[in-house]
Amino acid sequence: MNQRTVVPGSEKVRELGISGRKFSIPLPLLPFFIFVGYFLAWPITKVFIASLKSNDNKWTLSNYGPLLHGVYLHSFIVSIKIGLITALLGSIFGGLFAFVIDSYAGPRLTSVLDSISAVFANSGGVPLAFTFLASFGANAGLIKLLKRWGWDLYAEGFSIFSFTGICLVYIFFQAPLMVLVFKPALKGLRKEWREASTSLGGSNAMYLRKIAIPILFPSFVGSFLLLFAGGFSAFATASALTVGNVPLIPLVIGNLINGNVISNKTHLGASLAIGAIVIAFFAMSGYVWAQRKSTQWRK
Amino acid sequence: MKINLTKYSLVGIATLLALIIFVVPYSASIEYSLRGDFGKGHNLTNYYWFIHQDGFLSHLSLSLELGLLAGILNLLLMVPTATMLHLSLQRYKPIVDFICILPLMIPVVSLAVGAEYSMPSFIQNSQFELVFFFVILALPFTFRVLDSALSAVPLKTLVEASRSLGASWPSTIIRVVLPAARGGISSAFFLSFALGIGEYTMTSLLHWETFTTWTVVISQQNLLGSIALSTFSFLFAVALLVVIAIATSRRKIRKNSEIQLVEETV
Amino acid sequence: MSKGSELVITGISRSFGAVRALDQFSLTITPGELVCLLGPSGCGKTTALRIVAGLEKADSGSVFLDGEDLLAKDAAQRDIGMVFQSYSLFPNMTVAENISYGLKVRKNSKQKISQRVDEMLELVSLQSKINNFPHQLSGGQQQRVALARALAIEPRVLLLDEPLSALDAQVRTQIRDEIRRIQLESGTTTLFVTHDQEEAMAISDRVGVMQHGRLEQIDSPNTLYNKPATTFVAGFVGITNYIPSVVESKGEVQVLGQLLDISEHSQAVKKGEEVRAMVRPESIQIEKASHGPTVITKSFLGPMTRIGIDAGLKDLIYAELSSKDAKKFEMGDHVTVTIKTDSVMVSHA
């Protein structure tokens, strides 16, 4: 037997690798951990350190000050708002659609819709922004059509280059993402529960109220949080759609490290980046917690 | 009978509504992209203009190259890792699972900032630094896909059977493990490839010019042309994902019918 | 507890596309009786059960419970109790909450509900688990709770859809006896569906054997076993030897050198035709001999032993004797094989 390789389930695994005091990494997993360590953990650590340093390289918390008021706080709030609104609308529409499809659609239609959802959910970014420019921009066919019918959206102050515009665009991938992420939870609702409830005399409303909704709730919240994190952190679509008029954190950070502003603000970019990580991290932890909660009733 | 009607109409209405809502903007953009000069008539001028721009081919091939490399690197890294996790190192699975969720938790912007701060200059000066980060960004999806593909077969049993029949490790991996995870491997590759060619955030923040960022630059000159392009890239992405979907579902259908056959004989 | 109800099912037919799941299915269950529907997958037994439950629609036919037209009612209004194969307990509710679900629907008072829950838990001997969640219970315990939940509402009919199929073998025997005991105690009319013939025979008042959507025979277990009405029933219930034989004349068949009558429920056969004679293991008698058929296997089954004999045929012939008598025979011994009955059922080869 080849001594270099791993014998399933044996102690040899631990010997061939790096051992710390309490934690050892077996040899086969080393490449993964090294890669992730260098290209994920290390950059984030560096940002964190940079956020705690001032321009003359001394430890300081001053970079975090600006986050708590003024322009930067406002950007955080706007980003959070966009995240919350698009997540809410996306999860409601996506959730309802997923529910209808799951309950009533046949298997072929379901798999077609699944693939379509996957496509739309991943269609964010620049192409999506351009698509919306084409459909809702000032020269778009749709806008012109509506104008002909007497409804001049742009005269009423609508613009694709606005908060509302961004929300509209974001929902385009949030809702399909919700369908993708929430579907498995819906599938987890066993039909025996519904049938048992019916056989015991329970109405549809009772089943929903006492069984379906309580069971689905953690997954719904988790999916919502996932959508929020995505909406909050989205960069590409926003940068293609705004001309600097909507202050979103990802864009602000981008500007700072692009050197568009004076260089003594770069450490500020680091602290903003950490701030963004913290927010997204909380949301995703909520997602992980919710996922675990949703399977707690399964053995 | 009455119940059936409401069922079908509900599904029908929902699907129709959704389709309208989603198809309208895309058809609008297709229409937009086909507009002729000065908004008169419809033709393919925008597409022509676009393809004939300086840098179309070079940027397109760059993106394809980066995507390809990202896909390959991802497989090289994750297939052995996922396999080992399934075979003998299950207790490390929760840790790896968590690590693979991290790229979703950490905004790409922040990671880009980190890249600027941490990568040594020899990496920062090469556009291939993007490949490494594409792999990181694709981790959540590729790991999940590989993981479920490997879970779908009794991998440990198959490997033990192969080893007990005398096959060497390399032989076992090539002849037993890889075919078993075939679906997951191709999905993982396509996912990282798709992510690589479509990635914008990292690329633009690290000041590289790939196809995606180049099109935004071009859009300053000719909006119509860029819209043509984005329509084109969207349709391409659709085709790609549809191919993946068909490939994976056919396998699922075949597997299901095999299971049914077994059940019937039992 | 609940007085037994009479369930009259008449002429139920149901098709799914081209497949005829039920074909003019009729059955009358007398008050307090436990009837089992037995058959292979796809025979229609589950469909019949679900039509009575209201979870499936019938294309034609009628179901009357104590004279009331059941099919005219919604599933939720039918006053039935149902136990499913698995996973039917509400996972987000405790055992007590599960059991009280039906009672809450009927708007019983809190006190009455609590009292009833205690009664039911005592009935299934699970008092200690009252506040546990389903995922904390074993499979057998879950099914007992499911039974308690179904019975809590004092249903007029109890329907069980293969409730034991998902359980371990040993647990299965325990729970099925529990089910029978509880059913007798409460006097509830019960319809039980299973593909396990041993289960069906062990606890039922009557067993209905089904195939291809039709009821082939419905009788007491004893009658079903000893007087099967068709070759399918004979082969499905209990163990049977299929011995290649030749039809000697109209009404007689040559089996292993013996001339036996052909029983009247056999398939129609012609003189000279090669057929299979169906003989139960306990009807096979063996004596030690100096040459001839050989003992190949001996399977100890507790009080009985099954001996497999090679008589030069494609399959072994199985004889079943008391273990005491079986001690005489060793592997490799030669034996004579005699069939103890006068008539046998035959089917086409």
**CA dist., res. C304 & res. B85, Å (int):** 50
Inter-chain touch C81–A196, beta carbons under 8 Å? no
Q: Where are the domains of chain B?
A: 2-33, 55-265
CA distances in angstroms from A259 to A117, A255, C59, C154, C227, listed in the order given:
38, 7, 75, 77, 95
As a CATH number, domain B55-265 is 1.10.3720.10
How many Å apart are CA B260 and CA C261, to the nearest integer? 42
pLDDT at position B43, please?
65
Closest CA to A297 of C147, C136, C141: C136
Predicted pLDDT of residue A154: 65
The rounded distance, in Å, linking the Cα atoms of C345 and C330 is 30
Instruction: Report residue B125: phi and psi, to 5°.
Output: -85, -5
Query: Which pLDDT does position B215 carry in this prediction?
Result: 79
Whether the CB of C54 is below 8 Å from some CB of chain A: the reply is yes
Put simply, the answer to whether A233 touches B168 (Cβ < 8 Å) is no
Q: In this structure, how many other beta carbons lie within 10 angstroms of the beta carbon of residue B158?
A: 16
CB under 8 Å, gap of 24 or more: what pairs does C301-306 form? C306/C281
DSSP state string for C221-237: HHHHHHS-SSHHHHHHS
Which domains, from first to last, does chain A contain? 12-51 (no CATH), 64-294 (1.10.3720.10)
Q: Which two tokens stand for residue C50?
A: 């679900």
Name the more confident of B26 and C12. C12
Of residues A150 and C12, the one with the higher pLDDT is: C12
How many residue pairs bridge chain A and chain B with CB atoms within 8 Å of each other? Answer: 245
Q: Backbone dihedral region of C186: left (phi > 0), alpha (psi from -120 to 50 degrees) or beta?
A: alpha
pLDDT of residue B46: 67
Chain A positions touching B104 (Cβ under 8 A) are 226, 229, 284
Write down the H helix ranges in A188-265. Answer: 191-199, 204-207, 213-233, 236-241, 249-257
What is the rounded distance in angstroms from the CA atom of residue C62 to the CA atom of residue C236? 29
Report residue C83's pLDDT band, with 50, 70 and 90 as the boundaries: very high
The dihedral built from the CA positions of residue C29, C34, C39 and C42, taken in this order, carries a sign that is positive
Mean pLDDT of the C63-79 span = 91
Q: Return the half-sphere exposure (C-beta side, CA atoms, 13 A cut-off) of residue B191.
A: 24
Tell me the pLDDT band of C10, cut-offs 50, 70 and 90: very high
Chain C neighbors of A193, CB-CB under 8 A: 87-88, 90-91
Which of B134, B71, B82, B137 lies closest to B104, judged by CA? B137
The reported pLDDT for the residue numbered B2 is: 40
**B237: closest chain A residue by CA:** A119
Q: What is the mean pLDDT of residues C93-104?
A: 94
CA angle B196, B198, B204 (to 5 degrees): 90
- Which residues of chain A are within 8 Å of residue C89 when distances are taken between CB atoms? 196
**Contact with chain A for residue C163, Cβ under 8 A:** no
Contact status of A198 with chain C (Cβ, < 8 Å): yes
Which residues of chain A fall below pLDDT 50?
A: 1-17, 21, 260-262, 299
- Contact indicator for C80, C55 with CB cutoff of 8 Å: no
CB contact under 8 A, A211 and C92: yes
CB-based contact C55 A198, cutoff 8 Å: yes
Answer for the pair B174, B79: CB distance below 8 angstroms, yes or no. no
B230 and A8 within 8 Å at the Cβ level: the answer is: no
Coil, strand or helix: which one is B162?
helix
ipTM for the complex? 0.81
Contact call for C90 and A211, based on CB within 8 A = yes
Give how far A244 is from chain C: nearest CA, Å: 49
Choose from B117, B158, B223 for mutation: most chain A CBs within 10 A: B117
A201, A296, A299 member nearest C105 (Cβ): A201
CA distance A114 to A96: 14
Three-state SS letters, A144-168 = HHHHHCCCCCCCCCCCCCCHHHHHH
Report d(CA C272, CA C251) in Å as an integer: 12
In this complex, is the C-beta atom of A211 within 8 Å of any C-beta atom belonging to chain C? Answer: yes
Residues of chain A contacting C86 with CB distance shorter than 8 Å: 192
When pLDDT is cut at 50, 70 and 90, the band that residue C15 belongs to is: very high
**Nearest residue to A281 via CA among A213, A228, A241:** A228
Q: Is the pLDDT of residue C22 over 90?
A: yes
Chains contacting B (3+ CB pairs below 8 angstroms): A
Q: Which of A5, A11, A36 to mutate to test the interface with B (most CBs of B within 10 A)?
A: A36
Could you identify the residue written with the tokens 């109220």? A209
CB contacts of C95 in chain A (<8 Å) are none
**Residue C276 forms beta bridges with which residues?**
C244, C347
Tokens linked to A188: 């987890």
Q: What is the mean pLDDT of residues C80-104?
A: 93
Does the pLDDT value for residue C42 go beyond 80? yes
Find chain B residues with C-beta within 8 A of A226's C-beta.
104
Give the pLDDT of residue C307.
93
CB C149 within 8 A of CB C116: no
Per-residue pLDDT of chain B (266 residues), as tens digits, is 344 556 667 777 777 888 788 777 777 777 777 766 555 566 666 667 667 777 778 888 888 899 999 999 999 999 888 888 888 788 888 888 888 888 888 888 888 888 888 877 777 777 788 899 999 999 988 888 888 888 888 888 888 888 888 888 778 888 888 888 887 888 888 888 888 888 888 888 888 888 888 877 777 776 666 677 777 777 777 777 677 666 666 555 555 544 444 334 33
**Other Cβ atoms within 10 Å of A147 Cβ, number:** 13
Neighbours of A263 (CB within 10 A): 9
pLDDT digits (tens, 9 = 90+) for A9-63: 444 444 444 555 456 677 778 889 999 999 999 989 988 888 887 777 777 777 7
Q: In whole angstroms, give the CA distance from residue C98 to residue C88.
A: 10
Q: In this model, does residue C114 exceed pLDDT 90?
A: yes
Mean pLDDT of C193-215: 94
Interface test with B, best of A44, A226, A252, A288 (most B CBs within 10 A): A44
| Residue C306 parent element (H or E) | strand C304-310
Give A29's contacts in chain B (Cβ within 8 Å): 81, 84-85, 89, 92, 96
Q: Which chains reach chain C with 3 or more Cβ–Cβ distances below 8 angstroms?
A: A
pLDDT at A10: 40
CB contact under 8 A, B15 and A101: yes
Show residues of chain A in contact with C134, CB under 8 Å. 297
3-state class of B12 per DSSP?
Answer: helix
Q: Which chain A residue shows the shortest CA-CA distance from C157?
A: A199
- Between C260 and B11, residue with greater pLDDT: C260
Closest partner residue to C53 (CB to CB) among A199, A202, A297 is: A199
pTM across the whole model:
0.80
* HSE, side-chain direction, 13 A CA sphere, residue C67: 0
Q: What is the rounded CA–CA span in Å between residue C123 and residue C101?
A: 17
Residues of chain C neighbouring A215 (CB-CB closer than 8 A): 91-92
| Biggest distance spanned by C-alpha atoms of chain B | 73
* Start-to-end CA span in chain B (Å): 37
Write down all domains in chain C, each with its CATH number in brackets: 7-234 (3.40.50.300), 239-348 (2.40.50.100)
The partner residue sitting opposite B113, judged by closest CB among A47, A135, A233, is: A47
- Is A292 touching C (CB cutoff 8 A)? no
Name the residue among A112, A140, C29, C200 with its Cα closest to residue B28: A140
3-state secondary structure of B61: helix
